[in-house]
Structure 1
Amino acid sequence: MAQKETRVITVVDQKITGLPRGTYALLELYCTDLDCDCRNVYINVVNQAFDAPLATISYGWEELAFYKEWMGGDDEMLAEFKGPALTTFATQSQFAQRWLEILTDILNTDVAYVNRLQQHYQLVKTSIKDKQIKK
């Protein structure tokens, strides 16, 4: 399923986008802690021409109030967790800010993609729960 449902973006014009030409995959990373209901995804923007992700972007689809109640913390930390935001714990490339702009636009306009992220989150949580039951 991952191969079939991974979002891919092809950059054909470097002058317009400010990004190197090529095909980029948006790899989703989800929390695997069953006791955690963070409702968040980290998206790594990758391209086979680069050794590391070009950007790691945090995105939570709930309202900010959900994250404030769920985890507390200061407003800056909450804003980064909810995102879309570049994560401070990951090394970001020179293209990270541009990828954040692109992903922010996608996440704010593509309801089907956001729904898919939510479904993948639920699938990960269900899969982990099922594996623990089988132990």
Structure 2
Amino acid sequence: MAQKETRVITVVDQKITGLPRGTYALLELYCTDLDCDCRNVYINVINQAFDAPLATISYGWEELAFYKEWMGGDDEMLAEFKGPALTTFATQSQFAQRWLEILTDILNTDVAYVNRLQQHYQLVKTSIKDKQIKK
């Protein structure tokens, strides 16, 4: 399922995008803590020509008020967690800011993609819960 559901972006014109030509995968990373309901995904932008992700972007689909109640903290930290934002804990490439712009546009306009991220979050949580029950 992961291969079929992974979003892929192909860059064909470096002059227009400011990004190297190639195919990039948006690898989704979800929290696996059953006691956590963060409703967040980290998206790694990867390409086989690079040794590390070009960007790691945090995205939470709930309103900022949800995250403020859920985790507290300062507004800057909450804004990064909700995103879309470049995560401060990850090394970012020289292309990270451009990928953030692209992903922000996608996340703000592609409802089907956002719904798919939410479904994947639920699948991960359900899968972990099912494994706990089988133990």
**What's the offset of the Cα at 1:34?**
0.1
**What's the offset of the Cα at 1:96?**
0.0
The reply on whether 1:56 has 2:62 as its aligned counterpart is no
Residues 8-63 of structure 1: CA distance to partner in whole angstroms, max 9, x if unpaired? 00000000000000000000000000000000000000000000000000000000
4+ runs deviating over 3 angstroms = none
Residues 40-98 of structure 1: CA distance to partner in whole angstroms, max 9, x if unpaired? 00000000000000000000000000000000000000000000000000000000000
- Give matches, 1:34-113, under 5 Å: 34-113=34-113
* Superposition TM-score, scaled by structure 1 size: 1.00
* Alpha-carbon distance in structure 1 between the residues aligned to 2:126 and 2:5: 18
User: In the alignment, what sits opposite 1:122?
Assistant: 122
Structure 2 unmatched ranges of 5 or more: none
Q: How many residues align?
A: 135
Across the aligned residues of Structure 1 and Structure 2, the Cα RMSD in angstroms comes to 0.1
* Alpha-carbon distance in structure 2 between the residues aligned to 1:59 and 1:5: 18
Percent of aligned pairs sharing the same letter: 99
* Alpha-carbon distance in structure 1 between the residues aligned to 2:111 and 2:63: 15
**What's the offset of the Cα at 1:116?**
0.1
Structure 1 unmatched ranges of 5 or more: none
User: In the alignment, what sits opposite 1:20?
Assistant: 20
* Alpha-carbon distance in structure 1 between the residues aligned to 2:4 and 2:113: 13
* Superposition TM-score, scaled by structure 2 size: 1.00
